[in-house]
Amino acid sequence: MALSRTEKPKTTRGQDSLKPGSLPAHVAIIMDGNGRWARTQGLPRVEGHARGMDVVRLIVEECSRLKIEHLTLFCFSSENWKRPQPELDFLMQLLGRYLVSERKLLAEKNIRFGTLGRKDQLPAEVLGEIEETKRLCRENTGMGLSLAINYGGRGEIADAVRNIAKQVQLGKLTPEEISEEVISSSLYTAGIPDPDLLIRTAGEMRISNFLLWQVSYSEIWVTEKTWPEFGIADLQLAFQDFARRERKFGGLNS
């Protein structure tokens, strides 16, 4: 993984410099800093989450316009259940409202929709909205959008190992047949290419249990800006930095 920390962008070369061949096919984003942004504004933490949802809409639209093949957003981790109950209630309500309000955009932009993570802890109302949104997007053929909800990378790997163990127990798979491809096909992201670029906001230099298997060769780009401050210019800056990097995948470029 190659990593870059950035300061606040001074200038960008504009969207004309973003050539299709230089763009990442799959972009994953750790949307961090909603609470910190709210605190600096003298607002309740929940207001940061509400503002962050507006940024989600902006970035989804821009990635779709640029014909990014897949966008994965880390919305709610399996560790986030440790937060105060009022904040959790607000987050679940906000998620449900987002799923309803964005269906028109998903339809207009022909966006495919899916989720990553365990569903057993999610409220029934949220699960219902997830399934309805998936149903409505079933025939879409454009950019894929995955929301990681109640997601944890270690939990995902544990679930994959459990599924593979069952296949071995049933005689459908032998231990010798367990390969990287078999493991990949047992993850929540089965059928989705690994991320080319991982973006993290709010300056934190860690992966936070996000797509642990999938980001093994992802380029990492970190900005000091919190998620509510993140905009199209910042996304373009990340893409421009990505285009300048040499991706060797453990080998050597000639």
Structural domains present in the chain: 2-8+21-152+194-244 (3.40.1180.10)
> What is the pLDDT, as a whole number, of residue 231?
98
> What is the pLDDT, as a whole number, of residue 79?
95
* Contact in structure between 25 and 68 (CB atoms under 8 Å): yes
| Res 8 pLDDT > 50 | no
What number is the average pLDDT over the span 216-226?
98
Q: Which of 32, 34, 196, 234 is catalytic?
A: 32
Give pTM, 2 decimals: 0.91
pLDDT category of residue 158 using cuts at 50, 70 and 90 = very high
Q: What's CA 41's distance to the chain center, in Å? A: 26
**80 counts as catalytic:** yes
Q: How would DSSP label each residue in 39-73?
A: HHTT--HHHHHHHHHHHHHHHHHHHHHTT-SEEEE
The letter for the amino acid at 67 is K
Helices (H), the chain: 34-40, 45-65, 85-101, 103-108, 124-136, 153-169, 180-185, 232-244
**110 counts as catalytic:** no
Q: Which of 16, 34, 80, 150 is catalytic?
A: 80
What number is the average pLDDT over the span 159-164?
98
pLDDT single digits (tens) 165-200: 999 999 999 999 999 999 999 999 999 999 999 999
* Contact in structure between 130 and 103 (CB atoms under 8 Å): no
| Res 7 pLDDT > 70 | no
pLDDT single digits (tens) 222-236: 999 999 999 999 999
Q: Which residue has the higher pLDDT, 3 or 88?
A: 88
